[in-house]
Amino acid sequence: MAIHNLEVNGAYLLDLPVVSDPRGDLTFIENQQHIPFDIARVYYLYNVPVDAQRGGHAHRDLQQVIFALSGSFRVLLDDGQHKTEVTLRNPGIGLYINRMVWREMDFFSQGAVCMVIASNPYDESDYYRNYEEFIEASHASKK
């Protein structure tokens, strides 16, 4: 499995296996094999208006891998020191996002489907939804 590191708190792009034949392509994900944590939750975003912005938060502990199962969208990442942006458009490529990374998502194409594999069940207390609060916590943890 190929890995492409990004400079934002351990974020990286991962290439999943693709099995192709004349009937089409098949990609699979196995716990621990392709995802660097035990899978606790899967959710997906769909029917997203093309001008919508999602995300706008960071997580205290949660790790996630994000896929564009259909269509495309942009993901902005910011760990308080480094920023990068990635456009996901290939269902065989996942974006791993570590804890303590602010993410924003936009430029959703018509019919885009975003699937997310997460390390923990949903927990609102795990979110930083205020950017200044996140930056303060991020800088404090690096002192």
Judged by the rule CB under 6 A, the positions of this chain that interact with ligand T46 are: 41, 43, 45, 54-55, 64, 66, 103, 105, 116, 122
Indicate the residue among 26 and 42 with the shorter CB distance to ligand T46.
42
Does residue 57 carry a catalytic annotation? yes
Q: Least distance to ligand T46 from the beta carbon of 49, Å?
A: 12
Q: Least distance to ligand T46 from the beta carbon of 22, Å?
A: 34
**What's 35's DSSP letter?**
B
Note whether 62 and 117 are within 8 A (CB): no
Indicate the residue among 28 and 122 with the shorter CB distance to ligand T46.
122
Indicate the residue among 19 and 72 with the shorter CB distance to ligand T46.
72
Indicate the residue among 27 and 103 with the shorter CB distance to ligand T46.
103
Q: Least distance to ligand T46 from the beta carbon of 116, Å?
A: 5
**What sign results for the dihedral spanned by CA atoms 77, 9, 3, 94?**
negative
Q: Least distance to ligand T46 from the beta carbon of 83, Å?
A: 16
**Catalytic annotation, pick one of 4, 57, 82, 139:** 57
Please report the beta strands in the chain, taking only residues with DSSP state E, as ranges in sequence order.
3-5, 12-15, 18-21, 24-27, 41-45, 54-59, 64-70, 73-78, 83-88, 93-97, 102-106, 113-118, 127-128
How close are the terminal C-alpha atoms of the chain, in Å?
34
Give the other-Cβ count within 10 Å of 7's Cβ: 13
Positions marked catalytic: 57
